[in-house]
Amino acid sequence: MTRKADRKPLHLNAFLMSVGHHEAAWRLPESPADGGTDIAHYQNLARIAERGRLDSLFLADSPVLQGDPGRRPVSKLEPTVLLTALAGVTTHIGLIATASTSYNEPYNLARRFASVDHVSGGRAGWNIVTTAGADAARNFGLDDTPLHRDRYLRAAEFVDVATKLWDSWADDAVLADKESGVHALADRVRKVHHQGEYFRVDGPLNVRRSPQGYPLLVQAGSSEDGKDFAARYAEAVFTAQQTLEEAIAFYQDVKQRTAAFGRDPEGIKILPGIVPVIGDTEADALALDAELDRLIRPEYAKRQLANRLRIPPDQLDLDRELPEDIPTEDEIEGAKSRYTLVVELARREKLTVRQLIGRLGGGRGHRTFAGTAEQVADTIEHWYDAGAADGFNIMPAVLPSGLELFVDRVVPILQERGLFRTEYTGRTLREHYGLPRPSNRLFDTVDASAGHLGIALADAR
């Protein structure tokens, strides 16, 4: 598969992870050690990403303390709150945040994202996740993680309720007619009356329909349930793929599943994550990559790997390959696809635990590579033209320097090759991704004609 004859501009998202995606990024002199809670740091990153005309930026989240605070910075701000601060210093770039369907309620979350969409003028996106891990479960009064399939069933109903709530106001509901004293038409604001297996929600939402109708829906799971969920609901998919062949297979699989759900495959954009380490020369990039790996604390990283593999740390020998006797994916209830990716990477390349830690230290399973700006651009173009992606989730190893290098050196090359925009042509996140504003399921769009409004307003007077 190739797009060279008729290829559309690719999409680029900046995945902002505190001071960088590499495990040891915080130890470099340039890194702001308190970046995770420094609003000025994030505002600077948002401005850099917008300077590069990137489609969007993304903030991950989890309702649990992730990692050992004694070893690396783990403190982070609640992302939807942070997005409102970033909206105030940017004008075009999309603003995406993770929020869990496992440990939120549809009404409150729908209200938060509708609020961000209003505050930003139509630039909000929601990365929908089904949170795994017993630590998170215990923060919400549960003994352990709900079963994988149950989490996805809850997530499906959650999204259904949220979209109903976003549709509970017609686009034409608010008149604000001071002469008649009519602010909104009562029959254009409706309850949703949802009663399902997991939620009972009456509605309507206490926020009018937002500029995008509702935020861009993003998903990041790659298990079988995750791919079906993406094909049914998602408009963008963030994924981790180690090889071109795996990326092409994933791309084709999700597009086919999307069509099977009766959706246009072009209505879902697939963005694999890449962790580029960029240098003036390839040798410079490799030296920085090696320095970052040298700064990893192996005893800490071994515990993290053991936790992911669901085995005791003492079963891992730093200078041996993974033991044969580890759980299968079917025995794992959380992050199934990432578990399989890590194990297959180790088996395929016969990596020792120490080597695997180094490979995971930069991107936790996403593809990492070191090279010049030209080499990074070549890799992006090759994967894109091969039919492996609609764009890429850029995950700088170190922030802010890695993002600056990508924006100032790689983006111009992509622009020169006609692969990426030189200016924004739209204002909303949906426009950046070439996606339509969703219709309102609760109201007949024909009723929103000027005639309907005129009659309603005359009646009100």
Query: Over 90: is that where the pLDDT of 227 sits?
Result: yes
pLDDT one-digit tens code per residue, 378-426:
999 999 999 999 999 999 999 999 999 999 999 999 999 999 999 999 9
Q: Which of 125, 151, 142 is nearest to 218 (CA)?
A: 125
Query: Over 90: is that where the pLDDT of 282 sits?
Result: yes
Contact 118, 213 (CB under 8 A): no
Report the pLDDT averaged over residues 84-105.
97
C-alpha distances in Å from residue 443, one per residue of 168, 172, 253, 431, 449:
8, 10, 34, 23, 12
What is the structure's pLDDT at 333? 53
Q: Which of 7, 13, 97 is nearest to 54 (CA)?
A: 13
What is the structure's pLDDT at 453? 42
Query: Over 50: is that where the pLDDT of 281 sits?
Result: yes
Query: Between residues 406 and 69, which one has the greater pLDDT?
Result: 406
Q: Which of 245, 250, 167 is nearest to 201 (CA)?
A: 167
pTM: 0.86
What is the structure's pLDDT at 365? 58
DSSP 17: -
Strand partners, 213: 210
Residue 96 CB neighbours (<10 A) = 29
Which residue ranges make up the annotated binding site?
Answer: 61, 98, 148, 152, 222-223
What is the structure's pLDDT at 457? 39
Query: Which H or E element spans position 273?
Result: strand 269-278
pLDDT one-digit tens code per residue, 201-219:
999 999 999 999 999 999 9
3-state SS, residue 83: helix
- Distance from the Cα of residue 386 to its chain's centroid: 23
- Residues with Cβ within 8 Å of residue 303, at least 6 apart in sequence: 68, 313
- Residues with Cβ within 8 Å of residue 341, at least 6 apart in sequence: 222, 240, 242, 365
Q: What whole-number distance in Å separates Cα of residue 387 and Cα of residue 402?
A: 26
C-alpha distances in Å from residue 420, one per residue of 11, 48, 413:
7, 16, 9
Q: Domains of the chain, with CATH numbers?
A: 11-280+365-460 (3.20.20.30)
What is the structure's pLDDT at 4? 56
User: Comparing 81-90, 107-116, 148-157, 427-436, which segment has the lowest mean pLDDT?
Assistant: 148-157
Signed CA dihedral, 96, 101, 103, 108: sign only: positive
pLDDT one-digit tens code per residue, 376-389:
999 999 999 999 99
Query: Between residues 327 and 446, which one has the greater pLDDT?
Result: 327
Q: Where are the beta strands (DSSP E) in 67-156?
A: 94-100, 124-129
What is the structure's pLDDT at 306? 74
Query: Over 80: is that where the pLDDT of 310 sits?
Result: no
Which residue ranges make up the annotated binding site for FMN?
Answer: 61, 98, 148, 152, 222-223
User: Comparing 231-240, 325-334, 420-429, which segment has the lowest mean pLDDT?
Assistant: 325-334
The percent of residues in the chain predicted with pLDDT above 90, rounded, is 61
User: Which two three-digit tokens encode residue 403?
Assistant: 């993002």
Q: What whole-number distance in Å separates Cα of residue 200 and Cα of residue 182?
A: 31
Quickly count helices (H) and strands (E) in the chain.
Answer: 16, 13
Query: Over 80: is that where the pLDDT of 95 sits?
Result: yes
Query: Which H or E element spans position 138?
Result: helix 134-138
Query: Over 60: is that where the pLDDT of 2 sits?
Result: no
Query: Over 90: is that where the pLDDT of 83 sits?
Result: yes
DSSP 211: T
Q: What whole-number distance in Å separates Cα of residue 227 and Cα of residue 450?
A: 41
The percent of residues in the chain predicted with pLDDT above 70, rounded, is 87
User: Which two three-digit tokens encode residue 158?
Assistant: 């959650």
Query: Between residues 159 and 64, which one has the greater pLDDT?
Result: 159
Report the pLDDT averaged over residues 131-148.
84
